[in-house]
Amino acid sequence: MIGGLATRRWRRPDPAELAALVADLERWPAPAGGAVRHLLPLAVIDASGAAAVRLTGTPGARRDDGTVPVGVAVRAARDVLAVAGDARTLTRAVGPTPSWRLLVGEPSAADAVLARSARGRGVVHDQRYLAVDVAALPERVEDPGVRPAEADDVEALADLAVRLHVDDGFGPDPGAAGRRGYRDRLAVSVRAGVIDVVGPRGRPVAKLERSVDHPRYGVQLAGIVVAPDHRGRGIGRGLVGVVTRRVVDARAARGEPAPAVTLHTRAENAPALVAYAAAGFRVVEPWRLAVA
């Protein structure tokens, strides 16, 4: 029974449900397309399996109107929750909402979860979800000197992360403890090779992280920031354009189809939206980001 208590509670999926959930998310009817919209949760499910997932509803089922009665919350990092699915199902979920410090997702799913969260809604940001249009990707991108981040860059990367924290309205300067947390996380990402920067060794003036780099689902860009005294010079546009072109060209060289490359940014950040458009990105739908 689709509306029964057993299917409406938040729970970890069994293997059959997980397979059906992945299929639902891959083909979800949405402006961005299933796998593009759900790039982050799909990549996490592929890497971590059922342990990262809490769902409500019935994967693989369909209502008479063709809608999918399932909602999902995927733990993308320790305090990061990616939510997706049917707002009606999420609104009727039984039991405590999965915890989060930072929550992301499209508006109807995100708002349904936020409405029931014990934390309340937190600070909610109106965002735009963008995906690269390969046909609009510039053939030649002026390279501002993009290079992989190195261990010597971590202190400066933490400074840039704090700057982004403040600029994006996550809160005031987090102080020494918050900066230490950013530094520790960034050191791990540098070792993993998922951060690109512009600027001298030890003194980068811009950074970009690949929060997802999945062979099937594509790449999600995040943590993009340019130091205030270097803005307005095309550095951010060049950084995004070079990294995106490299991702697309690497897949083409292997004979693979063009990957999804996505990111999301504040709706009111007009300079960023202009820069991303110049780098070949198009807005595909509204998005939510909430900070507890």
179-232 confidence digits (pLDDT tens):
999 999 999 999 999 999 999 999 999 999 999 999 999 999 999 999 999 999
Same domain assignment for residues 148 and 279:
yes
Question: For the chain, what percent of residues have pLDDT higher than 90?
Answer: 89
Per-residue pLDDT band for 1 (boundaries 50, 70, 90) equals very low
Angle CA 79–209–72, to nearest 5: 40
Same domain assignment for residues 162 and 279:
yes
Residue 127 counted as domain residue: no
Same domain assignment for residues 155 and 39:
no
Of 121, 149, 181, which residue sits at a domain end? Answer: 121
Q: Provide the strand spans (E) within the chain.
A: 53-57, 70-77, 80-85, 102-105, 123-132, 146-148, 195-198, 206-214, 218-226, 261-266, 281-291
Same domain assignment for residues 77 and 31:
yes
Q: Give the gyration radius of the chain's Cα atoms.
A: 19
pLDDT digits (tens, 9 = 90+) for 100-153: 999 999 999 999 999 988 777 889 999 999 999 999 999 888 999 999 999 999
Q: Over 80: is that where the pLDDT of 2 sits?
A: no
Q: Which one-letter amino acid corresponds to residue 134? A: V
Residues 85-101, mean pLDDT to the nearest whole number: 94
Count: domains in the chain: 2
Same domain assignment for residues 113 and 143:
no
- What are the CA-CA distances from residue 45 to residues 52, 54, 166 (Å)? 7, 11, 31
Same domain assignment for residues 67 and 203:
no
Q: How far apart are CA 280 and CA 72, in angstroms?
A: 30
Residue 267 counted as domain residue: yes
Same domain assignment for residues 116 and 206:
no
The gap from C-alpha 150 to its chain's centroid, in whole angstroms, comes to 23
pLDDT digits (tens, 9 = 90+) for 16-35: 999 999 999 999 999 889 99
Per-residue pLDDT band for 292 (boundaries 50, 70, 90) equals confident
Residue showing tokens 């997802």: 212
Residue 97 counted as domain residue: yes
Q: What contacts 280, CB < 8 A, 6 or more positions away? A: 132, 133, 134, 136, 137, 138, 241, 244
Residues 144-171, mean pLDDT to the nearest whole number: 96
Same domain assignment for residues 173 and 252:
yes
Tokens of 238: 């060049």
Same domain assignment for residues 92 and 200:
no
Q: What is the mean pLDDT of the chain?
A: 94
**What's the start-to-end Cα distance of the chain, in Å?**
35
Same domain assignment for residues 96 and 140:
no
Instruction: Determine the pLDDT at residue 78.
Output: 86
Same domain assignment for residues 58 and 177:
no
Write the burial class of residue 57 (CB in 10 Å: 0-12 exposed, 13-18 middle, 19+ buried). Answer: buried
Instruction: Determine the pLDDT at residue 120.
Output: 79
Range of the domain at 76: 5-121
Residue 290 counted as domain residue: no
Q: Over 90: is that where the pLDDT of 59 sits?
A: yes
Q: Over 80: is that where the pLDDT of 47 sits?
A: yes
Instruction: Determine the pLDDT at residue 41.
Output: 98
Same domain assignment for residues 151 and 232:
yes
Question: Judging by DSSP bridges, how do beta strands 261-266 and 218-226 pair with one another?
Answer: parallel
Residue 26 counted as domain residue: yes
Specify whether the CB–CB gap between 261 and 247 falls below 8 A.
yes
Q: Over 80: is that where the pLDDT of 83 sits?
A: yes
Of 92, 121, 150, which residue sits at a domain end? Answer: 121
Q: How far apart are CA 85 and CA 116, in angstroms?
A: 15
Per-residue pLDDT band for 3 (boundaries 50, 70, 90) equals low
Question: For the chain, what percent of residues have pLDDT higher than 70?
Answer: 99
Q: Over 50: is that where the pLDDT of 252 sits?
A: yes
Instruction: Determine the pLDDT at residue 275.
Output: 92
Residue 168 counted as domain residue: yes
Residue 200 counted as domain residue: yes
Q: What is the CATH number of the domain that holds 276?
A: 3.40.630.30
State pTM to two decimals: 0.93
Residues 266-279, mean pLDDT to the nearest whole number: 94
Residue 158 counted as domain residue: yes
